[in-house]
Amino acid sequence: MSVLRRAVLLAGLLGIAAGAGSPGPARGEPVAVHDFRGKALSLAAPARRIVCLIESALSGIFMLGEAQRVVGVATSVYRGDVFPYYAALDERIGKKTLPAPGNWDFVSIEGVLALRPDLVILWAQQSEAIAALEERGIPVFGVFIRRLEDVYREIEALGALTGNPARAREVVDFTRSEIERLRGRAEALPRERRPSVYFMWAQGDLETSCGGSTVQDLIELAGGRNVCEALEAEHAIVNLERLIAWNPQVIVLWPNERRDPADILRDPRWRSIAAVREGRVHELPEVFLCDLWTLKFPYPVKLLHRWLYPGEAGGIDAAREKGRMLRALYGRSLP
């Protein structure tokens, strides 16, 4: 998990209410939506010059086929394992010519204004940057993702803001149908049969997400039980004694440059935990493919289900599923 993820997860404790608008009008017509702050946005026509400083929202714009409207991106797009994917999606990113005037932790107001945007997309809790831009008459769409339903609302709103509600409905319907199929499979599993799962974010071994989070959705849809589901927290830091008492049967790591499953398996502090004793410690692959704040959500669900039920007949072919997902959402295969 990137530092971006941690900052936004921590902001979940502030309890910002979600409420993005519904699909908007066709191209060329006025646009009216509400963002995740509950703020009403009205545009005379779909945005033509978008500065999007949220990597997951940028992913959604590319799913809509509206990359040509983007004139500025987050600095995180040029780092880590997400860069090759975005480079393949937009040659301006591949050539590093698309400006990046900020990220979750810093926004260059002057840099944004220089791009002459008619819409800026920021995290809803970036209040100072939002205020500075709105004072200058720049419309800002504030995003806050807590559950999978928020992702659907975000994409529908982006469809309205880019004048492409039909494509927004298409990609949302694809993911929604995948999720409903996975939900039906999970709900058919007796609760007592579902393995207990501890999810580990990259910032620290004891940083996790509990009830009321996208991680909770991930684990439930995969047919597992989140060991801390009774706690309502998008981001929580637990102590080792508590984790040992929970005794998870499976441990799942967010993509992590600092630790991998072998490190956890070798760590003497974890030896008494069932997942470690049985070698059931796994790491999700690239952030781009497994981003829990995008419509790619079914892919990590399917990977986790395979780890929870390794003996199940008809397990997924990860490479095939990856290709099918990317073609449905982006209209093409990617590296």
Domains of the chain plus CATH, in order, are: 3-176 (3.40.50.1980), 189-283 (3.40.50.1980)
> How remote is the C-alpha of 246 from its chain's centroid?
27
For Cα atoms 223, 331, 301, give the angle at the middle one, nearest 5 degrees: 10
Strand 31-34 vs strand 196-200: parallel, antiparallel, or unpaired?
unpaired
In the chain, % helix, strand, coil (3-state, to 5) comes to 45, 15, 40
Place of tokens 């799962």: 197
Tell me how many helices (H) and strands (E) the chain has. 15, 12
For Cα atoms 221, 222, 225, give the angle at the middle one, nearest 5 degrees: 85
Name the residue type at position 225. R
Cα→Cα distances 263→253, 258, 292, Å: 11, 9, 24
The token pair at 84 is: 């090759």
Element (H, E) at 140: strand 140-143
Instruction: Encode the chain (335 residues) as per-residue pLDDT tens digits.
Output: 343 344 433 344 333 333 344 334 445 789 999 999 999 999 999 999 999 999 999 999 999 999 999 999 999 999 989 999 999 999 999 999 999 999 988 999 999 999 999 999 999 999 999 999 999 999 999 999 999 999 999 999 999 999 999 999 999 999 999 999 999 999 999 988 999 999 999 999 999 999 999 999 999 999 999 999 999 998 999 999 999 999 999 999 999 988 999 999 999 999 999 999 999 999 999 999 999 999 999 999 999 999 999 987 567 788 999 999 999 999 999 98
Strand partners of residue 143: 123
- What pLDDT shows up at residue 104? 87
Strand 119-123 vs strand 140-143: parallel, antiparallel, or unpaired?
parallel
Count the alpha carbons within 13 Å of 54 in the hemisphere toward its beta carbon.
27
Secondary structure class of 50 (helix, strand, coil): strand
- What pLDDT shows up at residue 27? 57
